[in-house]
Amino acid sequence: MSAAGSLAPTRERAFLAAVALAARVGFVAAASAATGVAWRDLALRYDGHCYILIASTIPRLYVGAPPLFPALRDPAFLTGWFPLYPALIRAASGLTGGLRAAALVVSWVSSAAATVLFHRLAGRFSSRPGLMTLVFIFFPPMWLVAGSLGFVEPVFVCAAIAAVLAALEDRPWACAAAAAVAVLAQKWGLIVPAIVLLIVLDRGGLAEARRFRPVLLSLVPLAALQAYLGAVFHDPFVNLRVARENFGGTLLGFPFASLLRGLTHPLVPSDIFGRVCLIANAVVYSAVAVVAWRRGVRAQRPLLIWLTATLSFVFCLGGGDYEAYNFPRFLLLAAPAAILLLEPFAPRKPSLAALAAPLAILPFIFGIIEVARTEAILRRSGLVSVLAAESAVLR
């Protein structure tokens, strides 16, 4: 190991958090240069513009958004996105001078926090936590994109890692708090309390699961949100209706079709990149799960439960969209477990400082292609003008 690779844990975490921040800021700069989109306006791409519109409605959550996006003709449209990330954007906007910059900063800081928590988690499963954390900063490639732009996944994955770590450290109330954050961040955040309860159940049976009953309190904020929606829109499940009606969701309201539909959707040239991404992610994550279960290492059971539960959920219910970014980003919840399960196949004596640049190359190439591809689709569809109007209003 180099000096950077042999740092004390606290200094190593600070070093890796700095690498994560620098990578995300650098990616935004590169994406802006490649597409000609101002760096702040990159926050309006993907789901970012919906989260920023929601942030603009606070304190009257979901009510009174500027009617810029065509779908906003439905007053309840924005309820399809959960409120925690917009609340963080609104809170940070006073420091950043605007909502767009705040959305990016929240993603960057959440990615750095997830990096620190992952390093702690890796210390429980790997003799080389620094190396595994460096891999986590850049892989899978969609993690770099999500951690750089206006995605909720950095907040969601950070909360999930914190919940699993608290479960492993036998801290039920901390686990409950982290799970509550995950539940309010993502529409399918309920999987996080399910994962931690499965982990503690596997570790100590029903007696251990009963000790972690506080985790069930993570559902209280969700119940409060649904009650609020009922009071404002006269339908406590309006967010599920919006997901079904606007995104072709399943019975449970998740916004994307099954994996089978994603694989069998009629292929057009603009879908090729997305189809390749879908197949690659499905194959790689499934292969990791199969190999890990065949190895049968008892100490890795929490990671196996985490990975398997996420794959089962996404494959069957929520994440089979053929678009390039949707399926890979849904699987980001499984990425920390998958990376740690691959630790036995990592090189033996790496240098963290020397590996950072080579590891970044593929994710940066993927990310620039993905952002440029999405920008081309927006221009062909005419939505760029809508986003430009949003940019003028949502400073």
In this prediction, residue 263 carries a pLDDT of 53
CA-to-CA dists, residue 261 to 117, 205, 321, 327, angstroms: 35, 37, 8, 12
Q: What is the mean pLDDT of residues 126-151?
A: 91
| Omega within 30 of 0 (cis) for the link into 214 | no
| Omega within 30 of 0 (cis) for the link into 344 | no
Q: What is the mean pLDDT of the chain?
A: 84
Q: How confident is the model at residue 49 (pLDDT cuts 50, 70, 90)?
A: confident
CA-to-CA dists, residue 106 to 27, 109, 153, 185, 186, angstroms: 15, 5, 11, 13, 15
Which DSSP state fits 377?
H
- The amino acid occupying position 204 is G
Q: Write out the two tokens for 223.
A: 């119940």
Q: What is the mean pLDDT of residues 24-28?
A: 96
Q: What is the mean pLDDT of residues 74-94?
A: 91
Radius of gyration of the chain (CA): 20
- 185 close to 82: Cβ distance less than 8 angstroms: yes
Q: What are phi and psi of 331, to 5 degrees?
A: -80, -5
Q: Which residues, at least 6 apart from 269, have a Cβ–Cβ distance to it below 8 Å?
A: none
Instruction: Describe the crossing of helices 272-295 and 352-381 by its angle, rounded to 10 degrees.
Output: 140
In this prediction, residue 147 carries a pLDDT of 93
- 337 close to 293: Cβ distance less than 8 angstroms: no
Q: What count of Cα atoms within 13 Å lies in the side-chain half-sphere of residue 327?
A: 29
In this prediction, residue 305 carries a pLDDT of 96
CA distance 129 to 211: 29
Note the maximum CA span of the chain.
61
CA distance 180 to 48: 22
In this prediction, residue 7 carries a pLDDT of 58
Domain locations in the chain as residue ranges = 4-244+351-393, 256-346
Query: Is the pLDDT score of 10 beyond 60?
Result: yes
Q: Write out the two tokens for 378.
A: 């927006």
Q: Write out the two tokens for 10.
A: 């606290």
- 307 close to 285: Cβ distance less than 8 angstroms: yes
Between 90 and 241, where is the model more confident? 90
Q: What is the mean pLDDT of residues 209-225?
A: 94
Residue 194, burial from CB neighbour count under 10 angstroms (0-12, 13-18, 19+): middle
Question: What is the DSSP annotation of 288-315?
Answer: HHHHHHHHT-GGGHHHHHHHHHHHHHII
CA distance 171 to 169: 6
Q: Over the stretch 139-163, which tens digit does the pLDDT of each residue have?
A: 888 899 999 998 999 999 999 999 9
Q: Is the pTM of this model over 0.85?
A: yes
The three-state DSSP-derived secondary structure of 67-102 is CCCHHHHCCCHHHHCCCHHHHHHHHHHHHHCCHHHH
Q: Which residues, at least 6 apart from 364, have a Cβ–Cβ distance to it below 8 Å?
A: 27, 30, 144
CA distance 68 to 59: 19
Between 46 and 125, where is the model more confident? 125
Strand runs labelled E in the chain:
none
In this prediction, residue 265 carries a pLDDT of 55
